[in-house]
Amino acid sequence: MGPFINKSPGRGVTILNGTGWYTKKNVKIIMTVVRKRESSIIFRKIKELDPNAFISMGSVMGVFGEGFDSIKF
């Protein structure tokens, strides 16, 4: 999934190691920040690869760092 997100909408991806609380299984957590209009292509790919994937989506007020706005303080 990471390479798809990195190439298709051209966004950065961070992969974290996690453990499911109930299952105690090791899982990979994929974090990325994309524009709302880019999310549908990513959701389609997720559904294709893992129809039971857990997805958390939220709105942000700003994104700062490489490739985004610089911190203005």
Beta-bridge mates of residue 28: 17
Please state the domain count of the chain. Answer: 1
The H-or-E segment that residue 44 falls in is helix 36-49
pLDDT digits 0-9 by tens, 40-52: 888 888 899 899 9
Domain hosting residue 29, numbered range: 1-73
Question: What is the Cα–Cα distance from 42 to 57, expressed in whole angstroms?
Answer: 12
Render pLDDT for 5-52 as a digit per residue (tens, 0 to 9).
Answer: 777 777 888 999 999 999 999 999 999 888 888 888 888 888 998 999
pTM of the model: 0.70
